[in-house]
Structure 1
Amino acid sequence: MTGLPDVQTLYEVTEHTWPSAAVQDAGAWTLRDGQGGGKRVSAATARRSVSKTDLHLAETAMKAFGQTPLFMIREGEEALDQILEDAGYAIIDPVNLYVCDIERLTMDRPPKVTAFDIWPPLAIQADIWDAGGISAARREVMARVNGPKTALFGRESSRPAATGFVAMHKGIAMVHALEVLEPHRGRHMGTHLTRHAAFWAADQGATHLAVLCTKANQGANALYSSLGMTVVGQYHYRIKEG
């Protein structure tokens, strides 16, 4: 067993395993062009201390991308959080970051013909993602990843049941876009795919497996806690309503 990565390391892993279409630094900000790939690849983050006068630059740049102004607030950024609150930005989607040693998840393999790693993904995996609201634009994020990556595919009773994505950066594998079809929920498919991701990652030389999970997703939080994964930090977004 080794020490767990800290939250700053997991922020970096997230950037590399779920990348934006384009990233640029502008003043106090790192700005992201997500091209419809979701909040994580579209939100601006602070590069240094930010003042109220810096806010307009970020808002203007994001609107030029065709994006609604959106900010990610990470641990230690309480001053930025207050500036955004004062400017009328509301909190949305607080996220937990989980991680554990790879050995914790590689003691028992999933049942045979239950979990697979496949790249590129099969058409049926795209259908499962579509059913879970993971659009083609979000799947384009997976295609942009450089370095070790694969799609996860789960079957139950010879039927397609689940899919997901895992990629690795600096020895840490991170699972994204894990989706289980409704008829197969509550039947351990999430556990099987997460464990399979760990075995795949171990073969790539990973030392840890990490996942992101919104705090509101009670089922997913329960799953990762039951697997012995530890919350090492959080982030949330702020967006202006109306």
Structure 2
Amino acid sequence: MNRPELLQAFEATWPPLARESLGPFTYRDEAGGGSRVSAATLDGALTDPALDEIEARFAKDGRDALFQIRSGEEDFDAALDVRGYQMFDPAACLMAPLGRFAPAQAKDGYVSWPPTAIQREIWAEGGIGSSRVEIMLRTRAPKCTLLGRLGDTPVGTGFVAIHDRIAVIHALEIALPARRKGLARRVMSIAADWARANGADSLALQVTRANTAALALYSALGMEEVGQYHYRTKILTGHP
């Protein structure tokens, strides 16, 4: 089961542009920011009229209906399946106490704020564009970026922010030529050091199950699965 405080930390450290309550749902809107900040979630009792209402809201806003379904929401998932929604991007929520991470070495990189041009380039090469960087910029939680190096060359970056003593890593990206050289592990240590220094006691992240290499790395670092989710969407016809 997803822990409520962890879900709150994910939202606080990677916030949507706009969110509002719509019956039992939370409706989010984020132009170009990805599924996580654009999906609606169920936070109350599901009814067919409530589902009709939020589908109508998506259509009114000219958007394809998109929902995130979390652990324990099997009935909601089944209701969307009956309505023709397709599932995609199953993901795991991972977490570990900071004591499981080895201290970072100064040569491996450092933390900084705001994002630099080279960090933006590394993100862009990995498909993390300006819309996601804007999310980092508006996050109100204590935050920093991570810059990982091989020798004197910056080749890795990420974003980390803290909510309620949980440090959450987002947008961890290693440049293609530098992958499989242990840099991601070392960047995680940089994040853990910063989190300890800023009052956190655990480190968390979300990763798609298709990213088997990342799942193996995080498991080797002692991170454990504490929740899961996936998305369902249905392309609506007749809207602009």
Question: TM-score interval w.r.t. the shorter chain?
Answer: over 0.9
Higher mean alpha-carbon deviation, 66-75 vs 211-220, is at: 66-75
Distance in structure 1 (CA, Å) of the matches to 2:215 and 2:96: 14
In structure 2, the partner of 1:196 is 190
- 8 Å contact kept, 1:7–1:97: no
> Any unmatched runs of 5+ in structure 2?
none
1:10 matched to 2:6? The reply is: yes
Please say if 1:99 is aligned against 2:71. Answer: no
Partner of 1:224: 218
Alpha carbon RMSD of aligned pairs, Å? 1.5
CA shift digits 1:5-40 (9 cap, x unpaired): 962221111110110001101112110011210000
Q: Give the counterpart of 2:159 among 162, 165, 168.
A: 165
Tell me by how many angstroms 1:47 deviates: 2.0
Q: How many residues are aligned here?
A: 236
**Residues 65, 235 of structure 2: 8 Å contact kept:** no
Letter in 1 for 2:39: A
Q: Which residue of structure 2 aligns with residue 47 of structure 1? A: 43
| Identity of matched residues, % | 42
Give 1:121 deviation, angstroms. 0.8
1:120 deviates by: 0.1
Q: CA deviation at 1:229?
A: 0.6
Alignment deviations for residues 103-151 of structure 1 (CA, whole Å, 9 cap, x no partner) = 111xx33333212111001100000000000010111111121120001
TM-score w.r.t. structure 1 length?
A: 0.93
**Structure 1 unmatched runs, 5+:** none
Q: How far apart are the structure 2 equivalents of 1:180 and 1:49?
A: 41
Name 1:235's counterpart in structure 2.
229
Contact (CA 8 Å) 2:92, 2:228: kept in 1 or not?
Answer: yes
2:96 alignment partner, SS class: strand
The correspondence for 2:168, drawn from 167, 174, 177, is 174
Partner AA of 2:54 in structure 1:
A
Q: CA deviation at 1:58?
A: 1.3
Q: CA deviation at 1:63?
A: 3.4
SS of the equivalent of 2:227 reads strand
In structure 1, the residue matched to 2:69 is 73
Q: Where does residue 107 of structure 2 map in the other structure?
A: 113
User: Deviations 1:134-177 (Å, cap 9, x if unpaired)?
Assistant: 01011111112112000111111211211000000000000000
Could you list the structure 1 runs, at least 4 aligned residues long, displaced by more than 6 angstroms after superposition. none
